[in-house]
Every structure is written in structure tokens, then in C-alpha cells.
Structure 1
Amino acid sequence: MTGTKAQPTHKRVRVGEYDVDIRTYGSGAGHIVLVHGLGASGRYFSRLVDELAKDSTVHTLEMPGFGSASTPHHGLDMAGFAKISCDALRAAGIGPAQWVGHSMGCQVVTEMALCAPDLVTSVVLMGPTTNSGERHAVLQGLRLAQDCLREPPVINWILLTDYLRAGPRWYLRTMPKMVRHRLEERIGRVQAPVTLVRGAKDPIVPARWLRELAAARPGAVAVELPGQPHVCMYTEPAQTAALLRSAAHGQ
């Protein structure tokens, strides 16, 4: 249930003391880079990858300390994760591409778009954190627990095992930096087209927050997926893939 039908090639890119693991699926003309959230890995993108790899080349990127990438000695903020991710993509020869972030990955992708605008064609932010009205680690933890009740059991299992693999130390070291990052102050500087996505039942990303982000980035497209929770790309992969294709073509 957690694997993809498409078989990937795996590349580990070393950037200084940091490892970035990149798995590539499909061989279509368009390139798409998927960036996971806090504590997660590329595994929860599996159903979306299966849809996208039918006509695109898809790269799942696992940032330092998450997924199969080794845990470094020094912590990173959102801009730090972004700089290393951009360096890894450039070293791997990936780009220009559509960049897609989920949850904390939205914050990283936004910083990536500011760091290396030449490598990105469009930006899609799914379930973007951190809601300005609840910028506190405890509140975010409560919202995550609330969302778990709305996710399918398989997603809760994937995320639990990914959290355990990342380890509490790295997770807790990264969370305050995620919470302090102000996406609403950064998104307006992104030059590439921006699409914002939330599941209508996502307690982590309220509709008000999506509207705030859309207002901060004139021209951004905001989309709500009816009935979907935070990990909307797993629960509704076909519709999410269609959104990504529309965003890639400026529709």
C-alpha cells in the first residue's frame, strides 16, 4: 500500500555535511519535484507519483534527516533546507521543473524558489504551514492529532513510521524553525506562478490562512479539494495530479 507502481532510480547527493536522497520515476518530458513535510518522506507521495509518472518525470526529494537521508550534526532552518535542496537538484541536473511542496515542504519550496528561480517553472503549495493564527508548536501538534482522525489508517501508519525513522531529536529540533518561519512574508517574492491547495477538512490549514497567503501573492491561484484532509495528495491523487498539470500549463 505504501509503494508506487513506477520503479524509481535512487541517487544520494552530498552537499557539504548534508545528504539529500532523490528518487526519480517515469520518463516524461515535464519534470516535477515533490518535497515532503516535517518528519515525513517521499513515501506518502506514492499514489500521486503513480498518477504523475504516466506522462512526466517525477523526483521525490528527501531532505537531510528525513526519510532515508542521514541525520546531520547541525540543524537547518527553512532557508537552509532550501539552499541544500537547490544545490542537490543542480548537482543532479534536475531542472527547470515544477516544484511541489506539502506542509512544511511548502515553506522549503518557497525558499527554494527565491534561492534558485532559474530552476523552477511553477510552484504548487499543498497544505501550506504554518497558519499565522496558530504559530505555536503545541497548537500545531494538536492540529496534527486532529487531522489523524480524518486520514486513512495507512497514512497514519506511513507518517508514524517516518516520524520514528527521523527520530524525536531531529523532529523537535526542526519544528520550532518551521513554526517561526513566516510564509506570508516570503511568498510575495516568488516570481514563478503559484498555486495554493488545501483539503476542505484540513484542520492544520484553515481556509482563512489560504486566503491570507493568496492575498500576499497577487496572481496566486487558490484551490480547495472538497472533503479532503491534510494529506490530500494521497486521498485524492487523480484530482491532485490534474491540479499540478493545470498549474504547469498556467491554467
Structure 2
Amino acid sequence: MSPDLTGVSSPLAGHFAPSTLRYRDGHIGLVELGEGPTVGYLHGMLGNPGVHAVLDELAAAPNRVVAPSLPGFTGSSEADGLRNLHDWVVATSEVVDLAGLTGAPLVASSVGAMLALELAAIRPEAFGPMVLVAPFGLWDDDDPVADPFGTTLSVQRAMLTEDVSASAAFFDDPADLPADMVVEHGVHRYLTRTAAAQLIWPLPEWGLAARLHRVTNPVTLVHGAKDRIIPASYLGRWAEALPNVVGTHLVDDAGHQVDFDQPAGVARIAAAAFA
């Protein structure tokens, strides 16, 4: 069944998701571009800002790229009623179905990669092969994950991408944005950070390690060599914990959100994984 598109453009069209899907009592944002086999993209902490090079790179493969925004993130209604991890996993399952991504290959980043793993552990048919960029969900007391929320916005920005300009679509107000939309851009930014914090603060460890043996999907792991949130050593931890890892990639000159720092590289990895 095709997704139920409302056809309503976002007031930030060109900067945020151009379409919406009805979801519960609100909506979720949806970016869809390109033609070819369907590939899903599940965003990380930065959501789906309008200028998002990895989506263009994935579409150039060529693919039909479908990138929904989770509740509370850019372009979607607030995450009302999502009280715990179980609620978030159920919401992710609904979003995947609404966006028409059930069974499709998936690129997922950061908090989105964590939720994709949680869903795959209980619903393996939700995805095909997965490319996961720096997932949250594991914890080592001797090599802890950093807290990106116990700091200033500028420091958080430096923690998310090695090249701070790579996250400009999220953190900076476009020069041509009307004054009233600047306020809305700020609201989206605040809500996105709040939704991400619900998932990983104060400790991004929900017992996922005990469920990973159920993830049977082929998984390709990607991690930034300069990740200041999740140490690069976690690439090996994930590779040991997951039962069906088909490739690992440590990407130079990339921070936590490799999909923003090195979008062409992530697209090449995805093309090989989904071939």
C-alpha cells in the first residue's frame, strides 16, 4: 500500500522535509527523492535538515531514497507519549510501515541506528541489509560514550561532525530564510535536540547488547575515526556483538555523523552493501 501523503508542504520547504505523512494525532516529515530500488534512511541526532548531501548521494546510485523523520525530529510533530524505549521502538515500527520501507535496505545513523537494531531484534522482516553509522546502544565503563548534552551548543556541534560546516543545515539559519521562519527553524532545532536527548540521556545503554543475537539482517558497520561521542573502538565491539556483520569501515576525517562529514563515502559503502 502506498503511503498516505497529505500533500501539505512544510512551511520550511527547501530547508526541511517537503512532505508529511499522517501519524497518530499528528504527522511525520518525509523526504523522498530519486528513482530506482528503494533505500531507506533513518537519521541520527541531526534529524533530516533540508540540505542533506547523503540523501543526494544515495539517490545518485541510482536509488529511490525515502527518509522519514522520527517523532519530535525535524519536520515531525512532537514526540508526545513516547515515555520509554519500548514506545520509541513501536513508533519506529509504525514509521517504517507508513513510509513504505518495510523490508527495504536501510542506512541508519546514530540514534536512528540504535532504534533500527532494536526493531530488527524483534521484527527482522522490518529491514533488508543495514548500513549502520556509529550506533548508540553499547557501553563500556573503561571506554565510556561521551555526553553530547552536558555542554554548550557550539561544543555539541563540534562533537557531532569533524567539519562543523557539514552540520550547517541544522545549526545555521539560512541567509534567505524569512524572519518568521528563523523562529520556526530554532523551534525545530530545539525539538530535535530534545527528542535525541530522550533516547540517549543521561546514559545511552538500554540493554541492547542482550538482544543483538536476534539481529539476523546483514549489517555493515561504519564509524568515524574522529568520533568524539562514541569512541572508534566501539566499531570492534559492535562487530563482535552482532551475529551477521558483513563489513566494517573506519572512515578518516569524520566525526560521529559520518553521513554528514563524508556523505559520498557512506553512499559508496551502501552501494556495495546493497548490491
Same fold (TM over 0.5): yes
SS at match of 1:42: coil
Q: CA RMSD in A?
A: 3.2
CA contact (8 A) 1:99 1:123 kept: yes
Question: Which of 2, 6, 10 lines up with 2:19 in the alignment?
Answer: 10
The answer to whether 1:125 aligns with 2:150 is no
Distance in 2 (CA, whole Å) between partners of 1:102 and 1:144 is 17
Matched, 1:203 2:228: yes
Q: Which residue of 2 aligns with 1:77?
A: 84
Where does structure 2 lack aligned partners over 5 or more consecutive residues? Answer: 1-13, 173-185
TM-score scaled by length of structure 1: 0.81
Letter in 2 for 1:91: L
Q: Which residue of 2 is the match for residue 19 of structure 1? A: 27
Matched, 1:239 2:265: yes
Q: Which 10-residue stretch deviates more, 128-137 or 227-236?
A: 128-137
Residue identity opposite 1:114 in structure 2:
A
| Aligned residue pairs, count | 243
For 1:52 and 1:164, the matched residues in 2 are separated by 24
CA contact (8 A) 1:42 1:62 kept: yes
| SS state at 1:112 partner | helix
Asked if 1:37 is matched to 2:44, the reply is yes
**CA displacement at 1:139 relative to structure 2:** 6.8
Larger Rg: 2
TM-fit CA distance, 1:235: 2.1
Aligned to 1:67: 74
Aligned equivalents of 1:138 and 1:51: distance in 2? 30
What do residues 78-99 of structure 1 show as CA deviations (whole Å, max 9, x unaligned)? Answer: 4422322222332343332112
What is the TM-score with the length of structure 2 in the denominator?
Answer: 0.74
Query: Residue 48 of structure 1 corresponds to which residue in structure 2?
Result: 54
Report which stretch shifted further, 165-174 or 137-146: 137-146
Check 1:23–1:157 CA distance in 2 against 1; reply closer, same or farther (3 A cut): closer
Change (3 A) 1:70 1:196: same
Unaligned runs of 5+ in 1: none
Which has the larger share of helix? 1
Structure 1 or 2: more strand by fraction: 1
Question: Contact 2:39–2:64 (CA<8 Å) still a contact in 1?
Answer: yes
